[in-house]
Chain A
Amino acid sequence: MEVEISRRKFLQGTVAMSVVGSAALSTNLLSSSHGSSAKPGAVSFHNTKTGSDKGHDVATLCEMCVNKCAALARVENGVVTKLNPNPMFPKSKNMLCARGNAGIQALYDPDRLKFPMIRIGEKGEGKFKRVTWDEAYSAILNGTDKFPGLSTILEEEEDNRSSMLFCAGEGMAEHTFKQFYQAFGSANWLNHASICLQTVASGYGVTLGSYPQADLENAEYIIMAGANRAEAIVTPDTMDLFKRTKGRGAKMICIDPRFTNTSAKADKWLAIKPGTDLAFVLALTYVTFTEELQNNEYIETHFNSYEEYKNSVLENKYTPEWAEPITGIKAEDIYTIARDFAAAAPKAVYYPGRRSTFAKNDFQLRRAMAIYQALHGAIDTKGGLIFGSKIPLKAHEGLQPLYEKAKARAVVKSTNKEGEAGYDDCAVVSGGGSWIGWRNRFLDGKMPYKVRGMFCYKHNPMMNMPNTQKTAEMLRKMDLVVTIDTMPSDTVMYADVVLPECTYLERTDPIKTFGGVEPSIAVRNKVIDPMFESKPVMDIMKGLTTKISKPLFEISKKFDEEIQDLIDEDGEEEAYAEFDLTLPFLHTQEELNHHAVADYPGAAEKLHHDGVFYPKQDDYYKQLSANEHQYYPENKKSYSVRGGKPVTPSGKVECVIGSFASKGIDPMPVWRDEYEFSVPAGKFKLLTGRHAQFTQTGSANNAMLIDLMPENFIWINKRVAAEKGIKFADMIEVSSSIGSTRLKAYPTEKIAPDQVFFIHGFGEESEALTWAYKNGGNDNAIIEDTMEPVYGAAAMHETNVSIKKV
């Protein structure tokens, strides 16, 4: 089964390694009882040739990134030998990308976390001791001589449940972990939103009522600005889009400061100065207004404060000529795009984007984009932005007890008068919170109460948040850090207790309904049993809550008068029932999933077998050819579900949001001089982003993917590189005001002379990651923690760096 790798030429010699047989998977540094931090000498790979017999397929869902493509896992003798696309899922349309295929390497990664561990060395040192699950749970409850446990912390904080922070990355089982957070009773929740899609989701959210999808399958004209669908894969957009580019049905204009793989497929690529998209959209809007290109009928019924916005745009004279020097895009191009977009509307899409918050003005940019789209009536229509429909699932009960002593969310207001609402760092605090704002307040000692520890699920804030040094400091200052991860990530290195979750191929996750033009329900079925001592988060939560629920209740009993009263009234047993942390985890995931689709006859079986379900699936689903599938007949697709009506509370497109003014936010998108792009002489604006073969930091140690691209390089304009005597693969030190990182040079004309770029997710510092350790450069070691003012999201392209050949 085991396959060696080519020793001589592996990775073009970039990573030294040794090869052993199948025993390798059971050896690991972190598991060794003396907690050595030496690199494992043994590495092996499951890169197994699939057999020639029928084999056994399990329908599952990929979790190598956010998209959740449907997969059929081929299992031979208990080993997953191949992941194939499951054609039944309308969202993933019979595809698995490179990362999806390489999921097997995540499953069989020899560096995987295999056993529960507790810290025995200094924080961040990565020295752990292997323990049993029970010992790990006990350590979380009672601490060790190295760190305090929950009981100490809650005792000292007088049952302020918010003294524990909960944070999670995106994932299907995030829901399970979130239930733990809710049951625990903390008010401090942080997720990836504020370092990912916060501004675009909110910008569209407040303007159109929802973050819509784009019907790229039918759009005739697409403005792809600040989104790189060829490399940052989003389904079904990536598939829908590129089958139709360049004279094949859709005209695509790509707007990106870099020449990306998406640009390569565009009819026109316009190199914009970073952070100036708002001026571009305003200029488009100006042309729309002056040339009467808007859809007046739509505007009449579906717009609020249209005139006000129109006047603002016209009065401010956001002409293409005005925008040209700001954006670097020629006025004539702006005129043409505005006219072509209008001509194609409503089959026209100004693509909303995903990872947003490039610059401080991002929220206003997304608002301007949403309004621009709506002006053409291309909302909730075929070929435009759509809301789609969703197949409802039956909810199951969670637990959200109220603890009297639990303090409200740790957001402060120092500038405002006491007692008034208002925030230091940003105007609005969303559900996902502001990671940077939270971390920095914590470090600056500006928390309204003490936060002493954190639970971190499937999330790697060390590597993913700007200013790595500050994140390290935060983690070091936390009394108790519990991480639930599959890999010894940089964040895990700072943990006090490490709980190994099994990978997505070893567990059944909460069922999910996927809305859109072609809605469906899909499920991740367990493919093989968890390896080593890893467990699904569901089981981890069950074990942990069983351990801590009662003892923590005892602490509450001491401090919480309401609980005391309740006990007096109903007796202890009944009172406890409302605070019993184990309640959300009583059922197995399979049972919960069964329950969720109980309203649809046959759905549970179908989901178990095919992984996908939607009503009338058997009638609708057809394989048209090896590559083409029909999921819904054309007349059953959910292009238009609301007759164009936005989903805002008013049912209208909100051009002007009056309530913002009091918070110091522009009520409608306007351009401000400070938004203008500038870089001091000799410096470069640093851009960051995706690569088609890697997912943020999560796949940095995947041997199959590193095989495709061994490390990240920094893009430097060729002419600049020549001037500086920098040649291909020269080692470069990149520094900013907060730190520096090193990686190799890639001189190219794909980037402007005053900018540099490198792929996010490389340069890990965790020695337990054989491949990823110090492989390439870490962007967040140099990206300054600049916040966008509205939601406190991380504005990632505001950092100037200098480069030096070393």
Chain B
Amino acid sequence: MARYGMALDYKNCINCKACETACKEENGILMGADKHRIWVGTGEIEGQYPLLDLTSNVFHPSQCQHCDNAPCEEVCPTQATYTDENGVVRVNIDQCILCSYCMNACPYDARYVDDRTMTVDKCNFCAETRLARGETTTACQNTCPTKVRIFGDLDDPNSEISEVLRTREHYSLKAHLGTKPKLFYLT
């Protein structure tokens, strides 16, 4: 029993996309343009060569926020989307009817349709693979060259993530929506 979350030291991110490939290989995700659980976003650079705005070019890694107050779960008509005992928001593919409501409800574009099962898929903190094996790292966290990600139990005051959230400033995405994300961006 834990309440897993992830803190992202996102300013370390170099947009190498190791995390994206690790996730696909670990979790057997389909290839294809919109089939991804995880992504790194970049903004278009501002300014005119050579006077570019260095701050306009952030690399922003993201994935499902594992909202404590998850709209996707709330709207699911069959409880296919649920929060497991570790606070991980997951989809039970046997129960998913592909009504796509959750895809519309998620404010983070974290969900997509898996073309094999034709059900909705998303990041599940590697719950079916690594966590199921008793490991305590996610594939994306483990592989990252610049160690952007800190994954761990938010309920454990001694965990690295709890420590880092106590000692460093952070923000979460679209916090005003009240989704209470468990992904934290360290500043």
Interface residues of A (CB under 8 A from B): 3-12, 45, 47-55, 81-85, 94-98, 100-102, 104, 230-231, 233, 235, 238-239, 242-243, 245-246, 248, 259, 261-266, 269-271, 328, 625-628, 692-693, 703-705, 707-708, 717, 719, 748-753
Contact = CB atoms under 8 A, between A and B. Distances in A.
B50 A752 contact: yes
26 contacts: A4-B116, A6-B31, A48-B28, A49-B26, A49-B128, A95-B144, A96-B22, A101-B25, A230-B16, A233-B16, A242-B12, A243-B146, A243-B147, A245-B12, A248-B11, A259-B49, A264-B57, A693-B16, A704-B25, A704-B31, A705-B21, A707-B32, A717-B49, A748-B45, A749-B49, A752-B49
Interface string B121-139: 0000000111011001101
B17 A693 contact: yes
Interface of B: 11-12, 14-18, 20-22, 24-35, 45, 47-50, 52, 54, 57-59, 115-116, 128-130, 132-133, 136-137, 139, 141-147, 149-152, 160
A705 B17 CA distance: 10
A270 to B, nearest CB: 8
A230 B52 contact: no
Given A6-B35, A45-B31, A269-B54, A753 B21 contact: no
A750 B161 CA distance: 36
Contact of B34 (A5, A7, A9, A626): A9
Contacts of A693: 16-17
Contacts of B18: 95-98, 100-101
A112 to B, nearest CB: 18
A82 B26 contact: yes
A259 B59 CA distance: 14
B16 A53 contact: no
Contacts of A328: 50
A246 B11 contact: yes
Nearest to A257: B50
A628 B147 CA distance: 9
Nearest to A13: B33
A749 B48 contact: yes
B25 to A, nearest CB: 5
Contacts of A81: 25
B16 A97 contact: yes
B32 A47 contact: no
A97 to B, nearest CB: 5
Interface class of chain A by DSSP: loop
B31 A626 contact: no
A644 B11 CA distance: 35
B45 A259 contact: yes
A753 B50 CA distance: 10
Contact of A5 (B32, B47, B49, B129): B32
A9 B142 CA distance: 29
Contacts of A265: 14
B32 A9 contact: yes
Contacts of B151: 626
Nearest to A97: B18
Contacts, number: 189
Given A243-B12, A271-B50, A328-B50, A749 B25 contact: no
Nearest to A268: B54
A565 to B, nearest CB: 59
A541 to B, nearest CB: 32
B63 to A, nearest CB: 15
Given A101-B25, A626-B160, A707-B31, A261 B15 contact: yes
Given A6-B31, A12-B33, A52-B133, 4 more contacts: A9-B32, A51-B129, A264-B54, A626-B142
Contacts of B32: 5-6, 8-11, 707
Nearest to B49: A749
A703 B31 contact: yes
A54 B115 contact: no
Nearest to B29: A47
Contacts of A52: 128-129, 132-133
Contacts of A94: 142
B30 A11 contact: no
Contact of A98 (B17, B59, B115): B17
Given A9-B32, A95-B18, A692-B14, A84 B143 contact: yes
Contact of B141 (A9, A259, A626, A752): A626
A468 to B, nearest CB: 29
Most chain A CB neighbours (cut-off 10 Å) among B29, B49, B130, B143? B49
Contacts of B132: 52
A53 B130 CA distance: 9
A703 B62 CA distance: 23
A133 B28 CA distance: 36
Given A230-B14, A243-B147, A101 B33 contact: no
Please provide the 9 A-B residue pairs with the shortest distance between their CB atoms, ordered closest to farther. Answer: A49-B28, A6-B32, A271-B50, A52-B132, A101-B21, A230-B14, A627-B147, A95-B145, A707-B31
A264 to B, nearest CB: 4
Contact of A704 (B12, B21, B136): B21
A47 B146 contact: no
B26 A98 contact: no
A11 B142 contact: no
A705 B22 CA distance: 11
Contacts of A704: 21, 24-25, 31
Nearest to A104: B25
- Quick one: which of A10, A104, A262 has the most chain B CB within 10 A? A10
A263 B26 CA distance: 31
Contacts of A8: 32, 115
Contact of B49 (A45, A705, A751): A751
Nearest to B58: A264
Contact of A82 (B25, B35, B115): B25
Among the interface residues B26, B34, B149, which one has the most CB atoms of the partner chain A within 10 A?
B26
A271 B143 contact: no
Contacts of B59: 261, 264
Given A50-B28, A98-B18, A84 B133 contact: no
Contacts of A233: 16, 145
Contacts of B139: 82, 84
Contacts of A752: 49-50
A626 B16 contact: no
B158 to A, nearest CB: 12
Most central of B14, B24, B26 by chain A CB within 10 Å: B14
Contacts of A55: 133
A750 B42 CA distance: 14
Contacts of B45: 259, 748-750
A19 to B, nearest CB: 11
Given A95-B144, A100-B18, A101-B143, A626 B30 contact: no
Nearest to A720: B49
Contact of B150 (A51, A84, A626): A626
A67 to B, nearest CB: 10
